Structures are given as structure tokens and as C-alpha cells.
């Protein structure tokens, strides 16, 4: 499915010192993973023998048995369409290496030796093992559909892990074979390391942790295998569970590659030229895997940390306060419609005044009823402005718009785009002129979704002196209002809840059904879904369609998905000329400003 693969990390039931029994267990788990569509699976460090064999690693019988067991494992998994990474000791001359074997198609296609051997606390690996030679090239395996690297436990805990030096080769996944012991706080540290490395490399990171069967003479091995992608744990096994576990997750390799192309810092590894790298091709056709579930709210997943709505207001108010200071103004003007966007802008503007120690009545909330305005929205706009302590002014624009339309020869009764846009531009003129009179700044209200779709009037609501919602998508605007409502006093909370649950409409036409933006455009939750994956993941139209049909199954029909996707792509490309001259505004999630995240010719 357009670059989705399932990867897995397993914690098997170990038979300490019995390679034949361990190979049998690894074969069983590998077959189970293959049935589930897994493309690559990693097992713990020294999983063929067990990590805690101590000085038994010196003995020929254990080393020979380990080598034979890997051959058996390879033969018995030869027909499976996946790559396996298993841990074993490898003897070469007088040295014994803690190593990983990459297995596919009935053979070992490559080995990786451990670089960092811990020799502290409960670890004394240098007693039995030799570190990988310093001049050994770092190996990246290329299966065509994705590239992966392998490192072994302590390698990740070093200041510069081997995987960091593989970045220049474009690793999509890193597999770590681990035998990390568990004590209080250890699993959290381990997870943090995996998350940080996956974030640095812009990749997926799968760590297989040793568990049941390892010796507990001096420490306990709790399992807890995990998979992280780009800084977040997406799958994690249970700690101290006696049963074998396979932890699997769908990873979007195509999306990760797109993100890395947009982030040159991932390739800083060229600053370590002495680290030789080699790419080993692996002749494998790995199964793509359609994800079992796809989030309907990618923006909230990506940016929705605890209390994100408070931080959103902090970003908006800090940016606006800085602009007020540089412009030497102490007042703000906001056009308030009774809708969600202007409600959030009003809250952000109020927070900016608080930040500067100014009174809330320095905020002028302007309500401008037009041809499609309803009494409900008008009353809600006034009530909201009063609830936040703003000064309120009502400016009825209907007569001035009629006069303007008459002046340009517009035929009365025709509700075309000129009819709609005349109102938007008149409102902007009112706001700008009031700001000039009051020595104030006009705070824009339009959100990221509208900017993406061009659902704003050029030189109308398109324009302001600072656009604080410009980086906040519609779904996040609505979610923020609901969260803020839950933390507000009763009157304000009730207004915000009603605002967030009302139909989304610019109220430009005296026809409620014709005003509904989602009737005309399609559902905003679909547009935001498409926008995120289009910009962040570089998803194609086909991939957007397939993902949306999984995410919104039973919510939106395939016909609605297709129609909304068509409108999204068409409108997004056509609206670039508006985005090429957007006002300044703070980055909260993604920014479509040509000075920030998105540059594109208007006539593409």
C-alpha cells in the first residue's frame, strides 16, 4: 500500500544455552509474524544461545551449536517473504564477537558485529567478546523497498551510535538486538533512547528485548520490546510477561523518506568521513501491508501533547505581543462573526493583551452583519466579545455593500462570487480603517485549512496585520475551543461549546444551506487529513484515498472521500497565489507561508 510495511520485534521464550531449541522457537515466531504480513522481524541479542551464558561462550560446543542453529533457522524460514535478524556469538580466530545475522531466502545475507561492549555493573562483555574492528565498514541493508541498519544493545547507548553514522545512506528502519536488564526506571530510559534516535534519524526503530529464560542470578530481563517512529513509541510489549511476544507496527516508509528529504540535518553524518559505509543489497520482495487502522486526526496526533491548547494560545499571544511591541501599538482589532475561527483569534488576542499587562478593553471586537448573517451568530459574537472583556462595536455592512454592488453594475438578486466577496472586502476595509483610527493592529482570523483551500477572499479576509490562526487547521480550532471551554468560567465555556458545535459557514448568502462550507467543500476532517499527509508525508492522491477509506470507514462513503479529495487537490494547487502574499503569523503546526514550510509557483 504505497510504502507501508509492518515491522516487528520479538521476545521469545529462551532455552538458555540450547541453540537448537532456540532456533525452533525463533522459527515458530517468524512463521507467526509472516502470517501477519510482517516484512522484517528482529530478535534479542544473542537470541540463539541466550545472553547470560557467561564463560560458556568460550566453549567450542556452544559456538558450533549456535552456528548450526542459525543454518537450521535459515533453512526453515527460506520460503517466508520476510527478513529476520537473529543474535548469536561468532568465533573468528582467537576472537568471539557478539553479532547479528541478517537472514532471508534460506541464507545469511550479512552479519553485523557489536561495537560497544559494556563492562560495568552487571555487564562484563569484554571478558568474553571482542568489539567490532574500528575500521569495519558500517553496513546498511537494501531490500529495494526500504533500507535498514542493525545495531546491538549498548551501541545505542553510546554518544554516537552506529545508526547515526548510517544516516547518510538513508536508513528507513533500524533494528536493535538488546539484552537490557530491568530495574526501576530502566524501561523508561530505554524507551526514551529509542524514541530520540528514531527522531534524529527520521526513521523507524525496532528494539527486541530479552525476557523469560535468561539467568536471574544478578539481574532480571523483563522483555518490553518496542517500535518507535520519528520520536514516538507506536508499539510496545508487556514487561515481565512469561509468554513469548511479537510487537509489530505499520511504518510508512514512503512518508519517512519524504520527511527526510525535507530535513537536511539528517545527513550531517558526512561530517564523520572516516566512518566507512557500505550498502549490501538483499534480493527480497517484501510484502507491503495496509495498516489496520489510520488516525482520523493526524494533526492532533502529531501536535496534541498534554495541554496543547494552552501552548497554542501561548504561541499565538507571544507572537502577537511581539508584533504589538515592534509596531508600538497597545490596541487590537478583531472581526468577530460568531464562528470558531474568530472565537479562537479573540482568545489569542485577549491572551496577548494579558501578556503585555494591558486592559482587555484595548481589544476592539467588531461585529459586522452582512447579507447572510443570522441573529444567532450575531448574538453569539456579541456575547463572546463581552465575555472576554473586549470593547464591542457593531458595524452593519449591508447598505454599504448594496451601494458598492450598485456602483459597479452588479445585478441585484444574483448571489455570485462578487456578491460574496464584496462583503468580505468591506469587512476588511472596516477593520483596517478602525485600526488606523485607534492606532491598533488588525488580527486575522483565517485558519490553516481555509488558507490551504483558498477558502478566503483575496484582499478580504485573506489580509490582516497579523494572522494568528494561520497555522491552526480547522479540526484543531474546534478541538481547542472545546478544551478551553472545559477550563473556562461557565458563561464563556457555554459560548465556546456552542460555537464549536455550530455549522461552519461564512454567512455570505441569505440561504443557510448554501452557506454551509462543508456542503460546498466537503468535510473539514477529510481536508485536514489530506492536508497533513500531503504536506508532511508527501502522500500521492492514490495513497490519500486508500488511507482515508481506512480511517473514515463507516463515517464517510468512498464517494464522499473521492469527491473531497478531488476538491482538495484542485483547490490547494489553485490557491497558491493567495499563499504567496500572506500576512505574517506564528507557526503552531505547519505553515503555508512562503517564508516558512511551503514554497510553490502560483501557476503550477
Q: Annotated active-site positions, please? A: 45, 114, 153
DSSP line for 372-391: T--HHHHHHHHHHHHHTT-E
SS3 571: helix
CA-based nearest residue to 154, from 126, 173, 183: 126
Within a 13 Å sphere around the CA of 373, how many CA atoms are in the beta-carbon half? Answer: 23
> Which runs of consecutive H residues, i.e. helices, occur in 119-233?
162-165, 186-201
- Give the three cell numbers for residue 572: 490547494
Element (H, E) at 312: helix 308-327
* CA atoms of 339 and 445, how far apart (whole Å): 10
Q: Sign (positive/negative) of CA torsion 131, 137, 140, 143? A: negative
| C-alpha separations of 284 from 37, 145, 147, 150, 514 in Å | 14, 9, 12, 17, 54
* CA atoms of 354 and 352, how far apart (whole Å): 5
Give backbone dihedrals phi and psi of 547, rounded to 5 degrees, phi first.
-65, -40
Tell me the pairing of strands 95-104 and 173-178: unpaired
Residues in contact with 265: Cβ distance below 8 Å, sequence separation at least 6, in sequence order:
none
CA-based nearest residue to 410, from 397, 421, 395, 426: 421
Contact 41, 246 (CB under 8 A): yes
Residues in the chain: 604
Contact 40, 78 (CB under 8 A): no
Contact 441, 465 (CB under 8 A): yes
Element (H, E) at 141: strand 138-142
Give backbone dihedrals phi and psi of 448, rounded to 5 degrees, phi first.
-60, -40
CA 254-548-540 angle, to 5 degrees, is: 35
CA-based nearest residue to 543, from 555, 553, 530: 530
Amino acid at each position: 500500500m504505497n510504502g507501508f510495511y509492518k515491522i516487528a520485534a520479538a521476545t521469545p521464550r529462551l532455552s538458555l544455552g540450547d541453540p537448537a531449541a532456540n532456533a525452533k522457537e525463533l522459527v515458530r515466531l517468524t512463521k507467526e509474524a509472516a502470517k501477519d504480513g510482517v516484512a522484517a522481524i528482529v530478535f534479542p541479542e544473542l537470541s540463539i544461545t541466550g545472553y547470560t551464558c557467561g564463560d560458556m561462550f568460550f566453549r567450542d560446543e556452544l559456538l558450533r551449536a549456535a552456528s548450526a542453529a542459525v543454518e537450521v533457522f535459515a533453512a526453515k524460514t527460506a520460503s517466508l517473504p520476510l527478513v529476520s535478524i537473529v543474535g548469536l556469538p561468532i568465533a573468528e580466530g582467537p576472537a568471539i564477537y557478539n553479532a547479528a545475522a541478517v537472514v532471508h531466502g534460506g541464507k545469511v545475507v550479512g552479519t553485523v558485529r557489536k561495537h560497544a561492549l559494556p563492562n560495568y555493573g552487571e555487564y562484563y562483555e569484554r571478558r568474553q567478546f571482542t568489539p567490532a574492528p574500528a575500521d569495519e565498514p558500517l553496513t546498511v541493508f537494501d531490500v529495494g523497498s526500504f533500507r535498514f541498519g542493525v545495531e546491538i544493545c549498548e551501541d545505542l547507548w553510546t554518544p554516537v551510535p552506529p545508526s547515526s553514522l548510517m544516516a547518510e545512506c538513508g536508513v528507513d528502519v533500524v533494528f536493535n538486538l538488546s539484552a537490557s536488564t530491568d530495574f526501576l526506571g530502566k524501561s523508561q530510559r530505554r524507551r526514551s533512547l529509542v524514541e530520540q534516535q528514531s527522531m534524529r534519524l527520521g526513521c523507524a526503530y525496532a528494539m527486541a528485548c530479552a525476557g523469560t529464560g535468561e539467568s536471574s542470578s544478578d539481574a532480571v530481563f523483563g522483555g518490553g520490546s518496542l517500535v518507535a517512529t520519528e520520536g514516538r513509541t507506536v508499539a510496545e510489549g508487556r514487561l515481565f510477561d512469561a509468554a513469548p511476544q511479537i510487537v509489530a507496527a505499520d511504518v510508512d516508509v514512503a512518508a519517512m523518506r519524504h520527511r527526510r528529504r525535507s530535513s537536511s540535518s539528517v545527513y550531517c553524518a558526512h561530517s564523520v568521513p572516516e566512518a566507512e559505509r557500505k550498502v549490501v543489497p538483499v534480493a527480497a520482495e517484501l510484502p507491503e501491508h495496509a495498516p489496520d487502522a489510520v488516525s482520523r486526526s493526524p494533526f492532533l496526533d502529531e501536535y496534541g501533547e498534554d495541554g496543547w491548547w494552552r501552548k497554542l494560545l501561548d504561541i499565538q499571544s507571544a507572537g502577537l505581543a511581539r508584533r504589538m511591541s515592534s509596531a508600538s501599538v497597545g490596541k487590537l482589532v478583531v472581526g468577530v462573526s460568531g464562528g470558531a475561527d474568530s472565537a479562537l483569534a479573540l482568545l489569542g488576542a485577549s491572551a496577548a493583551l494579558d501578556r503585555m499587562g494591558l486592559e482587555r478593553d484595548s481589544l476592539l471586537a467588531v461585529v459586522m452583519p452582512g447579507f447572510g448573517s443570522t441573529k444567532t451568530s450575531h448574538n453569539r459574537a456579541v456575547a463572546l466579545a463581552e465575555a472576554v472583556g473586549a470593547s464591542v462595536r457593531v458595524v452593519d455592512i449591508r447598505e454599504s455593500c448594496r451601494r458598492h454592488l450598485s456602483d459597479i453594475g452588479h445585478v441585484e438578486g444574483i448571489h455570485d462570487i462578487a456578491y460574496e466577496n464584496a462583503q468580505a472586502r468591506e469587512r476588511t476595509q472596516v477593520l483596517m480603517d478602525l485600526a488606523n483610527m485607534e492606532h491598533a493592529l488588525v488580527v486575522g482570523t483565517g485558519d490553516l485549512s481555509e488558507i490551504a483551500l483558498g477558502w478566503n477572499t483575496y484582499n478580504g479576509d485573506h489580509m490582516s496585520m497579523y494572522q494568528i490562526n494561520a497555522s491552526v487547521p480547522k479540526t484543531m480550532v474546534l478541538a481547542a475551543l472545546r478544551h478551553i471551554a472545559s477550563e473556562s468560567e461557565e458563561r464563556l465555556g457555554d459560548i465556546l461549546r456552542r460555537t464549536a458545535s455550530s455549522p461552519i459557514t461564512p454567512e455570505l448568502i441569505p440561504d443557510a444551506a448554501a452557506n454551509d462550507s462543508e456542503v460546498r467543500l466537503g468535510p473539514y476532517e477529510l481536508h485536514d487529513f489530506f492536508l497533513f499527509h500531503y504536506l508532511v508525508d508527501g502522500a500521492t492522491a492514490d495513497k490519500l484515498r486508500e488511507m482515508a477509506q481506512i480511517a473514515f470507514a463507516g463515517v464517510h462513503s468512498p464517494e464522499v472521500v473521492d469527491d473531497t479529495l478531488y476538491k482538495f487537490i484542485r483547490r490547494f494547487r489553485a490557491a497558491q497565489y493567495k499563499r504567496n502574499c500572506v500576512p505574517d503569523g506564528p507557526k503552531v503546526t505547519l505553515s503555508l507561508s512562503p517564508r516558512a514550510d511551503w514554497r510553490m509557483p502560483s501557476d503550477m
